[in-house]
Amino acid sequence: MAAPNNQILTVAQMQAAEQALIAGGTSVDALMQIAGQGAAEWIWRIAAGRSVTVLCGPGNNGGDGYVIAETLRRRGLNVQVVAPKPPSTDAAKNARQAWQLPVASSGKGVDGAILVDCLFGSGLSRPLSPELALLLRDLAGRHAYRVAIDLPSGVSSDDGKALNDHLPEYDLSLSLGAWKYAHWTMPACARMGARRLVPIGVSSVPGAATLIDRPDLGPPASDAHKYRRGLCTVIGGEMPGAAVLACISAMRGGAGYTKLLSESTDTQLPPDLVRDASPLSEAVSDHRIGALLAGPGLGRSDDAANRLRTALQAGLRTVLDADALMLLQPDMLGKDGTYIATPHDGELDRLCHSFAVVASSKKDRAGALARASGMVVIAKGPDTLVVAPDGRIALARPASSWLSVAGSGDVLAGIAASRLAAGRNPFDAACEAVWLHGEAARLAGGPFTATELAGKVASAYAACL
């Protein structure tokens, strides 16, 4: 199970986790005090003596807002509360009663340095009314710094969709109790600013998704040799540069030996990259191969499809990327094979069509594809997630937007193949590859080319030792 501070919960899972706390003897009022005071601590530091406006809704998220306001007031800050609707839950009513100052019912004439949005939290499933949406935008426009409590109002927690147009951008989002999918899912996550977690005592939840953190890697064993560290092979194709780029990445991702399987000798290779020019069916029969990568630069011709089918018939632990994903058909995969697929949104659409998967959100499509195909799926993009056939889900923290460059996917695929060749199970290999890819981008700065990105993979690996 994921650690409590690293798990990502659906609305239903979060509600069940809160009910477990209540069943264990913690009252709703006590939970509200814990959440509100924890959030107030962050806001106190940020405010640095400046004025704060708290926008409270009618539910328990609004109740958290009253606790925040009263906590900050007691510490000496100038605090205003705006509540367009009265509290509707017992705990929120109690928190409102504890607030010692008047409450404004509209935002007229209200301004300040910091706006705290406690209008609605993770339970919201419908758009804000036009009046509330206007109030939120109006107040946001009159405060230079904006903080969302749990989630920005107007955001769907489980899929990150914006329920209203023209929602404000925030400088800080404070998640209460556990992370929600929207914190790490586009388009919502792009407008949340920095994200911090306020613990309220939630335990680890079985089946929860997790955030991808820095992997715990180590140096080779004292008696290691290149094959024991893993032989990683990459199939060449019609555009050799992409396969070479994947090889360069794989060489820096932990595997002890990387080979390019290409019968073409036209491309000049780095001196430490081995080319195997034997027929593909012969090359993939080497029992020492730890993992195979197919797709970068493969092409989409009939010959490319035949090369892919030949490679998959070898029954190797395989990473499928780029052109391989466009050519892949269900009958090409072995029933008990080990596979990682690395689709971007367009390739994910194609795979869903090929495997007769129908789902709406990116998470649901990737999950359904993993179950239908048996592949671990890295659904890459600005909100990358990894899904296993058994239902495990891991989400990546935002990586550098400079990764939106040609060839960055080849680098990711090469790292994934390297981790698979090194003996990792496919889900762990995928998660490690995603983290190393993001860290390499951070180290590369920006702007960078894919070659420059690949050159930083070894440094990213070193950060895990």
Q: Which residues are annotated as a binding site?
A: 60-64, 117, 121-127, 150, 153, 242, 297, 344, 380-384, 409-410
Contact 318, 337 (CB under 8 A): yes
Residues contributing to the annotated binding site for K(+): 61, 117, 153
Beta strands, E only, 135-202: 143-149, 172-176, 179-180, 194-198
Size of the chain in residues: 465
DSSP designation for 104: B
DSSP designation for 194: E
Name all contacts of 186-194 with Cβ < 8 Å and 24+ positions apart. Answer: 186/160, 186/381, 186/382, 186/383, 187/160, 187/161, 187/162, 188/151, 188/152, 188/155, 188/156, 188/160, 188/161, 188/162, 189/160, 189/383, 189/398, 190/382, 191/152, 191/167, 192/148, 192/152, 193/146, 193/169
Residues contributing to the annotated binding site for AMP: 380-384, 409
SS3 content of the chain, % helix, strand, coil (to 5): 40, 15, 45
Residues contributing to the annotated binding site for (6S)-NADPHX: 60-64, 121-127, 150, 242, 297, 344, 410
**DSSP one-letter string for 111-132:** -EEEEEEES--TT--SPPPHHH
How far does CA 67 lie from the centroid of its chain? 31
Residues sharing a CB contact under 8 Å with residue 144, sequence separation 6 or more, in sequence order: 113, 114
Alpha carbons 259 and 196: distance in angstroms, whole number: 43
Residue in 132, 138, 122 with CA at minimum distance from that of residue 60: 122
Measure Cα distances from 423 to 3, 216, 273, 318, 404 in Å: 24, 14, 21, 12, 29
Rounded to a whole number, what is the largest CA-CA distance in the chain? Answer: 81
Contact 297, 269 (CB under 8 A): no
Alpha carbons 136 and 142: distance in angstroms, whole number: 10
Alpha carbons 165 and 173: distance in angstroms, whole number: 19
In the numeric block, the tokens 């194709």 are attached to 237
